[in-house]
Structure 1
Amino acid sequence: MTSADSIIDQIDGALYDCSVGPDAMRYAPGGAQSGERVITITADQAAALQARFREVGTSINLALAAFGPAAANAAQGLAAFTQAFQEARQAEHRPA
């Protein structure tokens, strides 16, 4: 079962199961699954995680800016090598 299916089942169960009360929106089909982990984080933890992801993104952008031209040159060199290699192979297979 995908997580989307699980969410749909929970919504259906919450809409049609009012055994706890008319305003209860707590429903887990089949109860808690063994081995299933739920991670809860606070707003402060979420903000700290967001800050770390921003730092990682900034570092990646700086690395791309530094190595971008070299990567473009390497890609062009690889494309030229690939073309030359293919032409050489085709020449080998041409009848004399």
Structure 2
Amino acid sequence: MNNFEALGLIETFGLVFVLEAADAMCKAADVELIGYENVASGYISVLVRGDVGACKTAVSAGVKAVEDMGAEVYSSVVIARPHPDLEKIVARYSLENLLG
């Protein structure tokens, strides 16, 4: 993970809402969709990576998209210049790992 990158994450309830969030995030800013995780009992998190400004824009757009559908965003965060050790966790949720 590049030291100048950031992570953007949104957690909501249900696949439809997280897909809407991911779509809005990717359309709103130059971010890379890292992957998703079905956390528990229908809670799903989606992760993107990009520069700090792009991740902030993407997360804002994703949160708005979910709320516009009448759903609740349980949490969202942008982590600027994440510590390199976070890559161990991020890699677990990577679509590349899921798709082989």
Give the TM-score, by structure 2 length.
0.24
Query: Larger % of helix: which?
Result: 1
**Structure having greater relative contact order (Cα 8 Å, sep ≥ 6):** 2
Query: Larger % of strand: which?
Result: 2
Task: Give the structure with higher Rg (CA).
Answer: 1
Give the TM-score, by structure 1 length.
0.24
